[in-house]
Structure 1
Amino acid sequence: MSEYRHIVRKWVKPEDLNQHGALFGGRLLQWVDEEAAIVAVAQLGSIDVVTRHMSAINFVSRADRGDLLELEYRVAAFGRTSITLSCRVENAVTGSEVLTLDEIVFVSVDDSGASVAHGRSEPTTGTERLRE
């Protein structure tokens, strides 16, 4: 499988902070899941995908107000009905790792929510599959 990377940046704002003045873990997970879904949709060419599984989430270091984070996604594998991504979040300024997630699995589903084959086996770099 060819190498694919998708990077998005997020700025930690005051409304993203927890009671300790650091980035709220739930907010970071929201960002991670939402962008992972966007990657899965672009890769599979369908908006009909659901998050099926996330591996252990490893919060390595904190992020504070004003930090610029980079969320980097890679396609780990294509299954018959699924796509598996990995995600690494780092502080763009310091380079320190904030979070790692080895597996985020999305499944292609039909109108009733049953898994369906998606027919993909190689990553794409754009959104052209959505227009097929």
Structure 2
Amino acid sequence: MRFHTRKWIKPEDLNPNGTLFGGRLLEWIDEEAALYAIIQLENPRTVTKYMSEINFVSSAKKGDIVEIGIEVKKFGRSSLTLCCEVRNKMTRHTIITIDTIIMVSLDENGKPYPHGKTQIEYVSDRLKDN
């Protein structure tokens, strides 16, 4: 799993129990998955279609740093299937796992658009072609 983003838990990220609010974490995951898919598919009109069961394993508290990891599971015709793990950088405990996140590439009319991608591409590799 590649961990791309880190978030610092601040007071506005907490629930009434004083731990990380699950909705905030899901917002961060959705944004990270979208950014990852947009870069991979090279289409800014890429949206979340599906998220599988979400498994909260542990939590985080104010001042902790969490890392969001994304991994590609499969390239579809117009989709990219990802999985996600978020862990507490301080304790190294897993906070949440999501087995399947499906992102879909859309055309200008909002219809699924074939992206033609079959494997992960890194920005550094794309720059070598220029």
Q: Which bin holds the TM-score, normalised by the shorter protein?
A: over 0.9
Do structure 1's residue 98 and structure 2's residue 95 form an aligned pair?
yes
1:114 aligns with 2:111: yes
Superposed displacement of residue 110, structure 1:
1.0
CA distance in 1, matches of 2:123, 2:90: 27
Match for 2:91: what amino acid?
T
Cα deviation per residue 1:67-106 (whole Å; 9 max; x = unaligned)?
1101111111100010011110001111101000011101
Look up the SS of the partner of 1:69 in the other structure: strand
**Distance in structure 1 (CA, Å) of the matches to 2:61 and 2:89:** 12
Q: Which structure carries more relative contact order (alpha carbon 8 Å, separation 6+)?
A: 1
Q: How does 1:80-99 map to 2 (within 5 A)?
A: 80-99=77-96
Where structure 1 has 5 or more consecutive residues not aligned to the other structure, the ranges are: none
2:78 corresponds to which letter in structure 1? T
* Distance in 1 separating the partners of 2:60 and 2:71: 22
Partner-residue secondary structure (3-state), 1:90? strand
Following superposition, the deviation at residue 5 of structure 1 comes to: 2.8
**RMSD of aligned C-alpha atoms?**
1.7
Q: Give the ranges of 4+ consecutive aligned residues of structure 1 lying more than 6 Å apart after TM superposition.
A: none
What is aligned with 2:26? 29
Structure 1-normalised TM-score?
0.91
Matched-pair identity in %: 47
Q: Deviations over 1:3-60 (max 9, x none)?
A: x735210110001001110110000000000011000001001101110000100010
Q: How many residues align?
A: 127
